[in-house]
Amino acid sequence: MNKKLRKAVIAGNWKMNKTPAEAKELMDGIKPLVKDADCDVVVCVPYVDLCTVLEAAKGTKIGVGAENCHWENSGAFTGEVSAPMLTSMGVQYVIIGHSERRTYFGETDATVNKRIRAALNAGLNVILCVGESLEQREQGITAELVAMQTKIALGGVTKDELKKVIIAYEPIWAIGTGKTATAEQANEVCAAIRSVIEGLYGKDAADAFTVQYGGSMNAKNAAELLAQPDVDGGLIGGASLKPADFAEIVKAASK
């Protein structure tokens, strides 16, 4: 498969960090360091920071995303935010199915699917997260599990809509733990995900499909991970809050 067919995407996931004032400061730090990026750069930020970050990203090529969205356009869903609300602000991306949502907030493959379909209907680009726990890896069911997560999440998504979807392979045991998957482990599962996409949508779609790795990617290990043939980018948590480290990862993806 030809990696050159695919867009490298480095996306920051700020999680529940940064007030609007701090978000502006972080964007001021990131912007000059990624201005020559030869890959797509995205920052996914808390809802309350979206206005500030959208304003800060004006005139740059940095894409702005939210960290979740609801499947209904509006209604009695206290505390939720809909996909059309996000697009109305100018938000371009949304993370769906992050393992922290699945683990702490009862997100299931079925609700992930509903959220993805709503996001695509509204015109958002989706970063879908899949990945196994340590126990599941030790049971030897990683490939089966991510295949199932991928298939359920993409139920009803057309080949045309798939162009707006990225999958981030995020082994749960590597997120925020400082434990990174080896480059071989990351590549193996990213390739398995691409095979699932090929089975569902055909080889052309799979060849063009961006699969990121996420899980303690940092300035030191990014180059090796991103050099793998099936790793097309990264979803970055902790290191996305440090401008120099985030920029180093963007640089590694720009090679």
| Active site positions, annotated | 98, 170
Helix (H) or strand (E) holding 122: helix 109-122
- Which residue's CB is nearer to ligand PEP, number 167 or number 235? 235
Q: Per CB under 6 A, does 176 bind ligand PEP?
A: yes
Nearest-approach distance from CB 236 to ligand PEP, in angstroms: 5
Residue labelled with tokens 């193996």: 188
Q: Per CB under 6 A, does 94 bind ligand PEP?
A: no
- Classified as helix, coil or strand, 212 is strand
What is each CA distance from 67 to 25, 82, 118, 203, 223, in whole angstroms?
Answer: 20, 12, 14, 30, 25
- Kindly give, in sequence order, each residue whose CB lies less than 8 Å from that of residue 78, ignoring residues fewer than 6 positions away: none
Record the tokens describing residue 5, joined without a space.
Answer: 């067919």
Nearest to 131 by CA among 186, 183, 178: 186
- Tell me the window of 45-53, 104-112, 114-122, 169-177 that interacts with ligand PEP (CB under 6 A): 169-177
Q: Per CB under 6 A, does 131 bind ligand PEP?
A: no
User: What's the CA gap between 167 and 136, in Å, rounded?
Assistant: 19
Which of 238, 251, 252, 253 is the binder for ligand PEP (CB under 6 A)? 238
Which of 26, 39, 235, 247 is the binder for ligand PEP (CB under 6 A)? 235
Nearest-approach distance from CB 170 to ligand PEP, in angstroms: 5
Nearest-approach distance from CB 215 to ligand PEP, in angstroms: 5
**Under the rule (CB under 6 A), what is the footprint of ligand PEP?**
13, 15, 170, 175-176, 214-217, 235-239
